[in-house]
Homo-oligomer: A and B are copies of this chain.
Amino acid sequence: MSATEHSPLARKLAAFVALSSDELATLMRLHQRRRNFVAGRDMVHQGQSDHAAYILEAGWVCSYKILPDGTRQIVDFQIPGDFLGLRSVLLQTSDHSIEPIGEVQAAEVLVSDLLGAFAQTPRLAAAILWAASRDEAMVVEHLVGIGRRDADSRMAHFLLELGARLALVGLGSKAGYACPLTQYHLADALGLSAVHVNRVLRQLREKGLVTFRDGQVVFHDYDRLVALAEFDPAYLDQTGPLLK
């Protein structure tokens, strides 16, 4: 039974660099210290200064910021295999909050363990840095979408990107995927109102492009959806620097 069967992170990284058994073992040692979380109680609070980083193993979470007027903006979702809280650890105090969506299982990672692992296996360090850069690229693409795409294309792009990310860890395909988000989550992520999210979803469904219902995203016409979204997965696909 290989490590990639246990850890979505190992599976994700393995898609871009062939990890040796030593490197895999080091990676798996980061997964000790398992913790569980439930919806409704934030894992990290905006402004909090003593908190850890985590590797998400099961379940989804979202990173968001609350504005003084009470509205919130979801910056990113994390799915199994993603790191969370890395930047906050470096800045010491978190600039955002992290909320579990449904039940979540994550491995707590101490900075010291991470640095130790990096020192041991530089290739692993490169792989994780690559993953972090990819996450940053996704945030940038998210920003572009909110700034310059209309609601339809924004939603389409979002659903496609999520699908591509999930496919990488074996949780989705071009047919669709399970998605625990509510329409309120979508609204807060896309900078829309929940009401408008509902209308946009209806339009996409009636046009025969994609259905989002009962926690399932089903692509009906992947290619036309890609066209509508102007979705270019280049920023996700890179075969990174890891082949060095």
Cβ-neighbour of A133 out of B73, B90, B137, B238 (below 8 A): B90
Copies of this chain: 2
Tell me how far the C-beta of A134 lies from the nearest C-beta in chain B, rounded to whole angstroms.
7
Give complex CA distance A80, B78 in Å: 33
Cβ-neighbour of A92 out of B90, B95, B238 (below 8 A): B238
Q: Are A91 and B143 interface neighbours, CB within 8 A?
A: no
Cβ-neighbour of A147 out of B146, B240, B241 (below 8 A): B146
Q: Which residues on B sit within 8 Å (CB–CB) of A140?
A: 65, 75, 95-96, 139
Q: Could you say which interface size class chain A belongs to?
A: 35 or more
Asked if A205 lies at the interface with its beta carbon under 8 angstroms from chain B, I say no
Using CB atoms, name the residue of chain B closest to A142: B143
Asked if A180 lies at the interface with its beta carbon under 8 angstroms from chain B, I say no
Asked if A47 lies at the interface with its beta carbon under 8 angstroms from chain B, I say yes
Task: Mark A191-235 against chain B: 1 for CB-CB distance below 8 A, else 0.
Answer: 100000000000000000000000000000000000000100011
* Known contacts A139-B140, A140-B96, A90 near B241 by CB under 8 Å: yes
Q: Are A91 and B146 interface neighbours, CB within 8 A?
A: no
Q: Are A87 and B147 interface neighbours, CB within 8 A?
A: no
Give complex CA distance A148, B93 in Å: 23
Jot down 12 A-B pairs with beta carbons below 8 A, ordered by A.
Answer: A47-B234, A67-B230, A68-B230, A73-B144, A91-B130, A91-B241, A136-B136, A139-B139, A146-B146, A146-B147, A147-B191, A148-B191
A→B interface (CB under 8 Å): 47, 65, 67-69, 71-73, 75, 87, 90-93, 95-96, 129-130, 133-134, 136-137, 139-144, 146-149, 190-191, 230, 234-235, 238, 240-241
